[in-house]
Structure 1
């Protein structure tokens, strides 16, 4: 699912394998489940189920919810082999409609030991509408030009920003990392977060540990290389993930900072200023979202990776005071990955997102 360099990648891959044998929380679409905290009860309402490795969420002004699905790789892939298929998609929920509005996108996964078993895949990770029609889809990958080429033609758009209406590659972070390697460390790309920025796109690179700017001509430049987190146990790579922009133009970016509980950070980039750490003390942050009342929401994939990982968590942050409120979700969030806020401050999460039994849920608290 996630991938950065060296031991960090191996730990996350091992965690994903462990979860495959764990029993995830299973709720049917339209049902709800609750956890009572000190002062409130949190309820999950399942809006969609059976999603294939659901990742990032984008909520449009009219309330339409878009979910990037990383797919299930190649369904004919032999056990233990890694193959690319065209099972990635974009899922939409609007009013009484829900279903896939784009299919046939690149996806890669390792064939399961048992035929028909759920698989963890890499593929579409973030989606936004394109002014020319269709959608712009950023795919995760975790590798280099050579490792992508080895997957064959089905994997050609992995790790790229793709416009779906005409299948045009708008930017290729994998190729950029392979050729430029801005941080000078091992060559490894895993594009994760996507934010339109005027005519450009900002992309967080979880594998390369930098913030990229994709330009309309297809070129890419580096906006910022995130330094190692030396406050964590040892010196850990940043692994930037979520990215959002507030109404005043300030950008917030989350980083995972390895598996050390409490090591994850939130960065702040004010217009015209260099990035700086805004808040620390989180764990395995994977996504951010802003509501319309001056609050930032931060989603943790898990409190701590292990076998299996502990449940995820959701925090609400007052941007004016930096006060952090933990929303009591108990064991409800199991490997949550995407986070979105609706026009009336509805909170949406992709849950059970490591496999093919994923959910889109609304968090009521």
Structure 2
């Protein structure tokens, strides 16, 4: 299938200097809300699942609002863990609003849930909360990380990292990248359950990082000692689901990042129908991180990186999948680096988080005026 190319005449930076921004959504007031995962802190620590050091706890997570061109933190003090340099952060990962305008915020965790309460004490990591922006307070709706601890739907290593959510009438649907599943819970916190497990995939003759590889994400990449000399002809890896959107057909569509060694061209988009049957909707991508449908039924998908992360090339891509299955690259590189989320605004423009995993350098950008150069 021919992959058409688009060139973007411009994009506008709406916010800069953010700390590990992960998710964004328009509120009922048509203003843009962004979650900052923060930079951890100087508190207690937990070991990273990658084996590359400890993640330190703090309350540097926040919610940012862009209103009339003004960028302001409107909720602060949210839980965050990160390496001492602020990388590898988990904290506020996503925000969505229900039909009444009530906000829901998803906090990540990226570690073994058994360590959360014992090592860090009371924390909202791995939970859904609903905030009150007027009082800088919040209440807990559901504990996604504890569900992984008590149920472990995929039967593999117990790790939870809730990454994205959507509101579907009176239900919240959550993607847990650590648990490799899709769970749902009522907006009142009831009926927390798994609705799909994203299966492992088997790589044939996988390519491993070489001696010149870049250690691009210590939070999720094992140390070189874990794969030095590895030459298996087949390797089972986790799919690592990253985001979910509801399609015009009523099904859920789920992007996957793929686990280490992050093979190029192996990331998939899964479709979960009303009977919870899982099928592959589209494949051939690399390190997918988010997706969104427009009003015409076109699907936009975001590649966090266009090549295996350990190659040290931060360029990402935004790709449009037409309702006829055609694929068009909207933007690739040209300033798009390590994007982490996208949404479509009330003005039908595309809004993206750029440099989403970089403390102090995260951006929100608006893509404008694409023109075709087939």
The aligned residue for residue 282 of structure 2 is 279
Matched, 1:56 2:26: no
Paired position in structure 1 for 2:59:
86
Which residue of structure 2 aligns with residue 29 of structure 1?
Answer: none
Q: 2:193 aligns to what?
A: 221
Among 83, 86, 90, the residue aligned to 1:110: 83
- Cα distance change of structure 1 residues 163 and 288 upon mapping to structure 2, 3 Å threshold: same
Tell me, yes or no, if the aligned pair for 1:44 and 1:332 is still in contact at 8 Å.
Answer: no
What is the aligned counterpart of 1:98 among 47, 59, 71? Answer: 71
1:147 paired residue number: 115
Per the alignment, do residues 131 and 340 of structure 1 end up closer, same or farther by CA in structure 2, a change over 3 Å counting? closer
Query: Using a 3 Å threshold, how does the CA distance of structure 1 residues 133 and 62 change in structure 2: closer, same or farther?
Result: closer
Query: Taking structure 1 as reference, are residues 134 and 272 closer, same or farther at Cα in structure 2, changes over 3 Å only?
Result: closer
Instruction: For residue 61 of structure 1, report the CA deviation from its aligned partner.
Output: 5.8
Is the contact made by 1:77 and 1:111 (CA closer than 8 Å) also made in structure 2? Answer: no
Structure 1 portions without partners, runs of 5+ = 1-36, 113-117
Q: In 2, are the aligned partners of 1:71 and 1:122 still within 8 Å (CA)?
A: yes
Contact 1:143 1:174 in 2 (8 A): no
The list of structure 1 runs, each at least 4 consecutive aligned residues, that deviate by more than 6 angstroms after superposition, is none
1:288 aligns with 2:291: yes
Aligned residue number for residue 223 of structure 2:
none
Matches within 5 A, 1:1-365: 40-60=7-27, 62-74=29-41, 82-112=55-85, 119-129=87-97, 135-153=103-121, 156-165=123-132, 167-215=138-186, 216-230=188-202, 233=206, 234-258=235-259, 259-272=262-275, 274-303=277-306, 304-318=308-322, 320-354=323-357, 355-364=359-368, 365=370
* Aligned-partner Cα distance in 2 for 1:347–1:65: 12
* Cα shift at 1:301: 0.7
Deviation at 1:185, TM superposition (A): 0.8
Q: TM-score, normalised by structure 2?
A: 0.79
* Higher strand fraction (1 or 2): 2
Task: Give the structure 2 partner of residue 33 of structure 1.
Answer: none
User: TM-score normalised to the size of structure 1?
Assistant: 0.81
Query: For the structure 1 residues 44 and 345, does the alpha-carbon distance in structure 2 shift closer, same or farther, using more than 3 Å as the test?
Result: same
Cα distance, 1:129 vs structure 2:
2.9
Residue 198 of structure 1: how far off its partner (Å): 2.3
The Cα shift of 1:357 comes to 1.4
Q: Structure 1 residues 328 and 131 mapped into 2: Cα distance closer, same or farther (>3 Å)?
A: closer
8 Å contact kept, 2:195–2:276: no
5+ unaligned residues in a row in structure 2: which ranges?
A: 46-52, 207-234
Over 3 Å counting, the alpha-carbon distance change for 1:130 and 1:322 in structure 2 is closer
Query: How far apart in 2 are the matches of 1:170 and 1:197?
Result: 15
